Amino acid sequence: MSEKVIQLKYADIYRKEKLILSDVNLEVEKGDFYFLIGKVGSGKTSLIKTLYAELPLVKGTCYVAGFHVNNIEPTKIPFLRRSIGIVFQDFQLLEELTVYQNLKTVLKATGTTKTSKINKRIEEVLTEVDLLNKAESFPHELSGGEQQRVVIARAILNNPPLILADEPTGNLDPDSSKIIIDIFKRLQSLGTAIVVATHNYSLLKYLNSKVLKIENQKLILENHDEIDFSVFD
């Protein structure tokens, strides 16, 4: 039996008083990989913010990783966010801390206190993103691509069933972007559901995956085989 990590039903998504998306229906199962595309301002970020309860859902129902987001109590929101991995375009790393210390801070904040467990998990996630040799480096000593890989390592510390990534390659060169997508693809193969909002349509050409498109306030499942990639060349 499939495990659904996102269920949106008849959802209207607002940014302040403005309707951004209307009548959204979406199901994402464990191990799914979706690209989320659409013009700037179409609602990609608003949709993702709704999924982790940054924007309130006014109408419809929303279930994410075991939480009913539309009825969530404010005190439960941190637990929702700890249950999923969130990757932003801007890295939001603590510049005064090393890579190891950045990750250790998150683990301690989410309840892991035993040093041996902390060290073991940090070694595992840095190995997953191929940055074990950068554990004692500071963020400013890393390239943009390396910093984003640290962000992904941070996002998977608690083995989330779902990763939401909002323009994760927006500040990266093409080669670094492909490395990020390859990491997401490996995580998908382990059963993690991935949703990547992007304006970098060349990534769709690089990876044959499911595509959600926002157009005219609607969320549409696109057929990857029917996308005209020539307009991106």
Phi, psi of 192 (to 5 degrees): -80, 135
* Per CATH, domain 1-84+161-233 is 3.40.50.970: no
Q: How many CB atoms lie within 10 A of CB 160?
A: 20
Q: Which of 64, 35, 1, 31 is nearest to 186 (CA)?
A: 31
Residue 170: helix, strand or coil by DSSP? Answer: coil
With contact defined as beta carbons under 8 Å apart, do 204 and 227 qualify?
yes
**Domain residue ranges of the chain, discontinuous segments joined by +:** 1-84+161-233, 92-159
Q: What is the pTM of this model?
A: 0.92
* Per-residue pLDDT tens digits for 52-96: 999 999 899 999 999 999 989 999 999 999 999 999 888 789 999
> What span, in angstroms and rounded, lies between the C-alpha atoms of 148 and 154?
10
Is it the case that residue 171 has pLDDT exceeding 90?
no
- How is residue 115 written in tokens? 């040093």
Helix pair 115-128, 99-109: axis angle to 10 deg: 120
Is it the case that residue 168 has pLDDT exceeding 80?
yes
